Structure 1
């Protein structure tokens, strides 16, 4: 094998190694980005029953109502009693309404939870708009504390014209509270006093 052939083979091997490293790094990056990208996709499209977060109210209100029922759950590890104050409402489509959920911490210590949510039928998620919701932030309850938490929403009037949702008459808004993973504070070292120093 000539020197030129040897050099070309080394260059080829180096190129393959670089391509492999780039591929591995790209796959690792995609793995880390997949969850937030999936969440963003769900929020934009309403896929999998994900509701929309908006800052403005609807300026169109139809003379047609939609029944909205509520479902509430808590996961293992969060000793809360969590339920809707009302089991259902029937607002006009496009009308902004406020409903309340009530949570009670039944544990002897303060605990923090965060809520995940979805709407069924899942096709309706893109038309369910939340203006305000306790699910946007974490919730901390002291031992034995009860808190009423608002959800402000409206249903986009476009729901009655979209082919996949025009025959829907009832929606279910579901929440599940999970314990938040918060870091425990690091214990501080005891402060030395003059008495301690005299003992040394």
Structure 2
């Protein structure tokens, strides 16, 4: 919960301007800015028999411009499984500027045996990114998700 609010360790916060903020005021593309390359990564824990991959390698966005990306998850087992995803952004100092509008992370996702689903993430880079002198050399941002099983692992 601290990471969600503070952006520590590359963990983005929901919004740097307040959790219940209306995003419409922040999602005006800065047309005279450089485009940022957003790359995507997906992984699963060793005990989760899912395949989880991004549907696109990258998107290019202006600060303030919204973007929609998709991941695909497939339950490779013969059992229904509930998983939950965490995410991070690298480089870590970008995390306070990465704002998700809608996402599947931190919510339980149930996949039936053999089921495949598409999972969207809707986000933007806060326009204040361009005013931060520490961001001047950052052109590529990576959004990474890892899925974990919510089931308890039994050791025999």
Q: Which category describes the TM-score, using the shorter chain as reference length?
A: 0.7 to 0.9
Q: Show the counterpart of 2:14.
A: 53
**Do the aligned partners of 1:160 and 1:167 also contact (CA within 8 Å) in 2?**
no
| TM-score (structure 2 length as normaliser) | 0.86
**Do the aligned partners of 1:104 and 1:141 also contact (CA within 8 Å) in 2?**
yes
Per-residue deviation, 1:46: 1.7
1:116 and 2:80 are equivalent in the alignment: no
Match of residue 65, structure 2, among 95, 106, 112 = 95
Please show how residues 64-103 of structure 1 align to structure 2 within 5 Å.
64=33, 65-103=35-73
Structure with greater proportional strand content: 2
Q: Could you say what the CA RMSD is over the residues aligned between the two structures, in angstroms?
A: 1.4
SS of 1:52 mapped into structure 2:
coil
| TM-score (structure 1 length as normaliser) | 0.68
Q: Show the counterpart of 1:44.
A: 5
**Do the aligned partners of 1:46 and 1:127 also contact (CA within 8 Å) in 2?**
no
User: What CA distance in whole angstroms lies between the structure 1 residues aligned with 2:9 and 2:133?
Assistant: 17
Match of residue 152, structure 1, among 122, 128, 135 = 122
Stretch deviating more after TM superposition (164-173 or 142-151): 164-173
Q: Show the counterpart of 2:148.
A: 178
**Do the aligned partners of 1:61 and 1:95 also contact (CA within 8 Å) in 2?**
yes
- Count of residues in correspondence between the two structures: 143
Unaligned runs of 5+ in 2: 16-20
Consecutive aligned runs of 4 or more in structure 1 exceeding 6 Å deviation: none
Structure with greater proportional helix content: 1
SS of 1:53 mapped into structure 2:
coil
Per-residue deviation, 1:118: 0.4
Relative contact order (C-alpha < 8 Å, sep 6+): which is higher? 2
User: What CA distance in whole angstroms lies between the structure 1 residues aligned with 2:40 and 2:63?
Assistant: 17
